[in-house]
Structure 1
């Protein structure tokens, strides 16, 4: 049954990816190629109901606190879509747990960045978290995940919301591959796609302005 569930989940991911490609080809070409972030200098993205779901295994990890803070890069300067608009080097999480594995430690690593990737729809801009990396540890289960988190940033509400489904984040192979009996029980495997739930709201620190996005 586990293998059938994994096969069904994989087919769902493949179908969703194909639908996304068709949707992109059906839309008109973007009007702009550059964007300008204004604000800061500091940025403080506070997580709300943040969760991570291994899509193929159907396993979800939730965290009561998951925050990302740093600074805006070259406020007021135009750059290409996809180029970094902010750097997030102070990463913290706590209160993470899984229904079966219990309390779980999620340690975000390195310096994450955030970028705008396309034209806005109203005040909502396609965006992504880049250089995402985290180590996950529970009783008899350790692994790492890395990649990107695609989503949208609304500069009116200051909220970054991950896209539904596969986010661009996957479970690592090699040294970061799942190890331990609980990982086997949960059917966690290298290459599994991770869906990210919840949202992050930029709450500028004292002396900093909200993040505004404009073209060019």
Structure 2
């Protein structure tokens, strides 16, 4: 397992794939979950996230967010993530500097949205641009975008009903088409004018 994550961390294409796309493929999903498991297993043993694994960790975190955190995790992984989240909360309580939180936040973001964690409110003390540039896409998807959506929803009555839902039942944004089929830009007004002047069979509204 460590060898798998080591090799993957040096594969630029393998890092770009989960970072930029969503691939509904069982083999790809299995690979991502295996890589994620290898990373958190090493973190559990060494109590740190090596620099060499950080790009891969960020790519997996972005992919997990794009899937709506639908990737399955084993029970031991869930326990490790819970311990990491508890550690982050303790770090905030002790006034830990931002740099000391980054590795744990990256690891946690591979498994769930940071917005739903008990320490989420403390993340709001920083703006997105205050974080390292490479970390910003993950934090945007995992916390800041969700916080902005939540702020907008606060003004709607439906929000009161949502507060009664379990966290896992609360609605969230799901993947959508990122690219639509290309169409030449056109004007409906011009099209209708041409049809009205070019064909007498078309009933066109008369101007007063």
Fold shared, TM-score > 0.5 on shorter chain: no
Q: Which has the higher strand share?
A: 1
Report the TM-score, using the length of structure 1 for normalisation: 0.20
Q: Rg: which structure is higher?
A: 2
Higher relative contact order (CA 8 A, sep 6+): 1
TM-score normalised per structure 2: 0.21
